[in-house]
Amino acid sequence: MILLAVLFLSLASSLVSGKPRHQQDDEDLTFYWRRSHPAPCKPFTTFYQACNKCVCAADSVPYCTRMDCPKEGPTRKDFKHQKVLGTPKDKAETNLMIKRLLTRGQL
């Protein structure tokens, strides 16, 4: 009975909105990207807007991530040129942490 209620509610919510939830989110993000970056860019390039990574599409419209940028804190440049002190194990752990942050797009 509970399963039927959950199915009914999810069906009703998708009928009210007219589109599945994941499509609504994608369109909302596209609207944000186009509105927040009105200036055209060079197609097929990447750049950073504050802490967010942007990719320029073929139609010269930039698409960027929507992370909240910290007011203060480390940046990619801080980690790139920072000398790591300590034992080789400490250096390896620090480098691994930096690599993980870079792949997640947090730096």
Q: What residue ranges do the domains of the chain occupy?
A: 19-69, 70-107
Q: What is the pLDDT of residue 24?
A: 45
pTM of full prediction above 0.85: no
Q: Which residues of the chain have pLDDT under 50?
A: 16, 19, 21-28, 31, 35, 81
In this prediction, residue 67 carries a pLDDT of 79
Exposed / middle / buried, residue 64 (Cβ in 10 Å: 0-12, 13-18, 19+): buried
Residue identified by tokens 């186009």 is 34
Amino acid at position 95, single letter: N
